[in-house]
Structure 1
Amino acid sequence: MRTHRRDALDVSHLSEHEQRRLLVDESGRLADNARDQPQSNPYPEGKHRLKTACAGPPPRRHPPLREPAMPRMTTEEVEAALVEAGWSRGRDIGAQVPELLDFVRERFAAEGHPVEAFQAAQDFVREFGGLRLVIPGTPPDAVGFTPHWIYEESGEDVAELAGNLGKKLFPVGYETFDGAMLLIDETGRFFLMHHTGPYLLGANTHEAISCLLHGPQQEARDCFV
């Protein structure tokens, strides 16, 4: 199997305080980079490329993520990919979780669109927070499983998508190439807010990771209420 690890965020050698600070600093760095990007940059780290993520019904080009689409990965294949990213059974980042969640809540609340860290979001961050999963394809990409705020008006776009889905959403990660936002809803489904539109990744963590690695992706509008 292809190696899916690149620069995993290894915090095992750090104290609890240092681990918490490192993960929060990563979220802050991403947000600050997005804020400071000039409008002239066509590929900033997320700020401008998601502005149309929840735009209306005209047909969109699917994101150039996994070509060609492959069959869903088995549970064993997904777990092997996660192990390569630094995951292990029973992984729990424990005391780091509240600060990571609070970082996102504060950013979104400041925009006037607060988000709630419901149980499904807490459980995902507790087990997978800080991992970095490399995605095969061209151009190279990776997903950071770190809650984040990535560009101005993130809150508005997430709120709009949540309203369309009829479910609460919480950001739990991002794609490094174009800043696409990984979201989980209160039922445990995963969505990707890409600049070409929002997509359903799967009904659970394993389906979402399989989809991120190999596709296929489904238009999120198929889930709108």
Structure 2
Amino acid sequence: MPDLNSTRFPVNVDAALREAGWQPGRWDIKLAEQWADTLRGHVSPAGHRHTVFPAVVEAWAEFGGLHITAPGHGRQIAPATVRIDPLAGLHLARTLGDLGRALHTELAPLGEETDRDEQRAVLAMDIEGRVYSVDHTGDWYLGRDIDTALSTLVTGTQPTRLVQAP
């Protein structure tokens, strides 16, 4: 018998998600498909294109359109405000493609995060479902899946910086 008191997310992350409009079973595949079509149809002036794959479409369907705000202080850093909207990375096909090649995978935009100082970062997901953040200071690994990444962002847990070989 399942434990009815347990949640998929830590309590404070679950509360932030529900406050943003998420609930178990939320699924807007129509919005996710619209985003997929827009990204597939976008070509940068230099000819770069986005990749779209099942893991990211599923994340968009479940969390798409949410604006998630952390309910309090972070554990190690200030928690981020998260917006799940891949069009935040529409014009970053080359950047995400370059990072994907460096990581030996493909990346698609997931949304964006904003810290308390209004510094923005683009969120991206790889074909395996791992989540990354790309900002003016570098590239960051947020977690092995969307659940872990949202927990990292909302709780203010320090992400792992990706280090590129010389």
Category of TM-score, reference length = shorter chain: 0.7 to 0.9
| Alignment partner of 2:82 out of 143, 154, 161 | 143
Code of the aligned partner of 1:182: L
CA deviation string 1:57-113 (max 9, x = no partner): xxxxxxxxxxxxxxxxx8242323211211001101122221112223333x23422
Match of 2:60 in 1: 125
Equivalents in 2 of 1:89, 1:155: separation in Å? 31
Q: Residue 98 of structure 2 aligns to which amino acid in structure 1?
A: E
Alignment correspondent of 1:190: 131
In 2, the alpha carbon distance for the partners of 1:87 and 1:207 equals 16
User: Aligned pairs, how many?
Assistant: 148
Q: 1:158 aligns with which of 96, 113, 120?
A: 96
Kept in 2: contact 1:192–1:201 (CA 8 A):
yes
1:215 correspondence with 2:157: yes
- Which residue of the partner structure matches residue 101 of structure 1? 36
The residue that corresponds to 1:110 in the other structure is 44
Alpha-carbon deviation of 1:187?
0.6
For residues 143-177 of structure 1, give each alpha carbon's deviation from its aligned partner in whole angstroms, at most 9, with x where no partner exists.
Answer: 1101114575x222111100110011000101243
Q: Is contact 2:65–2:85 with CA below 8 Å preserved after alignment?
A: yes
In the alignment, structure 1 segments of 5+ residues that lack a partner are 1-73
Could you tell me the TM-score, scaled by structure 2's length? 0.78
Runs of at least 5 residues in structure 2 that lack an aligned partner in the other structure = 1-7
Equivalent positions of 1:57-76 (< 5 A) are: 75-76=9-10
Alpha-carbon distance in structure 2 between the residues aligned to 1:167 and 1:123:
18
| C-alpha contact (below 8 Å) 2:10/2:151 kept by paired residues | no
Name the structure with the higher strand share.
Answer: 2
Determine the C-alpha separation between the residues in 1 that align with 2:35 and 2:158.
30
Contact preservation (8 Å) 2:133, 2:139: yes
Identity across aligned pairs (percent)? 30
Give the TM-score, by structure 1 length.
0.59
Q: d(CA) in 2 for partners of 1:76 and 1:218?
A: 20
- Alignment partner of 2:141: what SS? strand
Name the aligned partner's letter for residue 216 of structure 1.
Q
Where 1:209 maps in the other structure, the secondary structure is: helix
Q: In the alignment, is residue 167 of structure 1 matched against residue 102 of structure 2?
A: no
In structure 1, distance between residues paired with 2:36 and 2:97: 17
Structural RMSD (CA):
2.4
* Residue matched to 1:43: none
For residues 102-151 of structure 1, what are the alpha-carbon distances to aligned partners after superposition, in whole Å with 9 as ceiling and x for unaligned? 223333x2342212210101100010000001145698852110111457
Q: Match of 2:3?
A: none
CA contact (8 A) 2:90 2:109 kept: no
